[in-house]
Amino acid sequence: MFFVARATNTASGVGNERRSIYRKFREVDILDKKKTVTALKPGEDRAILLGLGMIFSSVMMYFVLGITILRSYAESAWTEEGVCVVLNSTVTADMNCSYNCGSDCWRVSKYPCLQVYVNVNNTGRISRLSHNEETQDASSECFYVPSCQKDSAQMHTMIMNISERLKAKQQVPCYFDPSEQQDTVLLTRLYDHIVVFHSLLWPSCMFIGGVLIIVMVKLTQYLSRLCEQIVKIRM
């Protein structure tokens, strides 16, 4: 009986010792998990703030682009692209312009007014050619309005070089108004579809990146909670 009781006490002591060791390991494991969760939470919060900041910045960029580039692109009447045959390219007169010569100082210079007439798509429609929308708004007569400079001879040389290049090409791509409400045609557009695409590319990438960051953080948190629930069920 003595040996049986001693063996029983020994087995009981070994079992208690094993349970004590298991509890210690369990407590250490839980403590490590708590430390890990505590360490990860500030990083997750910063990642979410980064994603929200990227989304907010991209929305602001969309707003700025919407009232500048996209608005000009949508309101432009010259939407159709065609081929213009240069019929005439001549300098008609000298136009006055003013340039800045210092603080509260403006002086007058002159540049030649180049007028270019073209035949649009060989349809017999003769129109005046303008460089772009800004030139059309600045002057209703001249093909190109250079930046005003003190040296008028330099501006004259530049305009004459443009005239010679247009005469040499004879046919140039151009943009016209399909409704024919605008009598002029444009050589280039300030904002065409390529410019609009490149303008929207970076804010779109920033918006998608911000959304992906938030989705990844939320997915990580969901998987972490799911793993904790599975561990509790197994216990």
On whether residue 85 sits in a domain, the answer given is yes
Regarding whether 122 and 208 lie in a shared domain, the answer is: no
On whether residue 150 sits in a domain, the answer given is yes
The CB-side HSE value for 122 (13 A sphere, CA atoms) comes to 2
Average pLDDT over residues 76-85: 85
* pLDDT tens by residue, 53-77: 999 999 999 999 888 888 888 878 8
Share above pLDDT 70 across residues of the chain, in percent, rounded to a whole number: 81
On whether residue 107 sits in a domain, the answer given is yes
On whether residue 195 sits in a domain, the answer given is yes
Provide the token pair at 204: 């779109």
Average pLDDT over residues 162-171: 85
On whether residue 14 sits in a domain, the answer given is no
Regarding whether 196 and 171 lie in a shared domain, the answer is: no
Regarding whether 79 and 183 lie in a shared domain, the answer is: yes
Regarding whether 58 and 117 lie in a shared domain, the answer is: no
Regarding whether 119 and 61 lie in a shared domain, the answer is: no
Q: Is the pLDDT of residue 7 over 60?
A: no
On whether residue 55 sits in a domain, the answer given is yes
CB within 8 Å of 151: residues ≥ 6 apart: 109
On whether residue 34 sits in a domain, the answer given is no
Predicted pLDDT of residue 205: 93
**What's the start-to-end Cα distance of the chain, in Å?**
38
On whether residue 105 sits in a domain, the answer given is yes
Confidence of residue 179 (pLDDT cuts 50, 70, 90): confident
Picking from 155, 129, 153, the residue whose alpha carbon sits closest to that of residue 140 is: 129
Regarding whether 150 and 105 lie in a shared domain, the answer is: yes
Regarding whether 235 and 147 lie in a shared domain, the answer is: no
Confidence of residue 223 (pLDDT cuts 50, 70, 90): confident
Confidence of residue 35 (pLDDT cuts 50, 70, 90): very low
Q: Is the pLDDT of residue 38 over 50?
A: no
Regarding whether 218 and 112 lie in a shared domain, the answer is: no
Confidence of residue 20 (pLDDT cuts 50, 70, 90): low
Number of domains making up the chain: 2
* pLDDT tens by residue, 182-218: 888 998 888 888 888 888 899 999 999 999 999 998 8
Q: What are the phi and psi torsion angles at 166 (to 5°)?
A: -65, -40
CA 215 to chain centre: 22
Query: What distance in Å separates the CA atoms of residue 210 and residue 217, rounded to the nearest whole number?
Result: 11
Average pLDDT over residues 154-181: 86
Range of the domain at 178: 74-190
Regarding whether 224 and 138 lie in a shared domain, the answer is: no
Predicted pLDDT of residue 57: 93
Regarding whether 103 and 57 lie in a shared domain, the answer is: no
Regarding whether 106 and 83 lie in a shared domain, the answer is: yes
Q: Do residues 128 and 56 lie in contact, with contact meaning Cβ atoms separated by under 8 Å? A: no
